[in-house]
Amino acid sequence: MELENDKLKKDIILRLKRIEGQVKGIQGMMEKNVCCPDVLVQISAIRSAINKVGGLTIEYYANNCLGIEKDSKEQETLKELIKTINTFVK
């Protein structure tokens, strides 16, 4: 479980760094007066990426902050809830 949580945390951080780069890219596009539809496509990509990071963060929180025992019935139920939330926010 610890290894899985470390991997999840690293994935979240990597995605946040990628989003940071995308935001800086949009700033550059605006400074260069790039056509608005192109900017909006990039904003849409960031929104999708943020939703994914949100879902992963919920999963990380559930695994580390709720005090639910590993391999318990509650953990299985929680995994199903997280899966449902992630499907909804896509």
> What CATH topology corresponds to 2-89?
Methane Monooxygenase Hydroxylase; Chain G, domain 1 (1.20.58)
Local confidence pLDDT in tens for the 90 residues of the chain: 678 889 999 999 999 999 999 999 999 999 999 999 999 999 999 999 999 999 899 888 888 888 888 788 888 898 898 889 888 877
Residue type, 50: I
Domain ranges of the chain: 2-89
Rg of the chain, C-alpha, whole Å:
17
3-class DSSP string for the chain: CHHHHHHHHHHHHHHHHHHHHHHHHHHHHHHCCCCHHHHHHHHHHHHHHHHHHHHHHHHHHHHHHCCCCCCCHHHHHHHHHHHHHHHHHC
pTM, 2 dp:
0.81
> Distance between CA atoms of 61 and 79, rounded to whole angstroms?
12
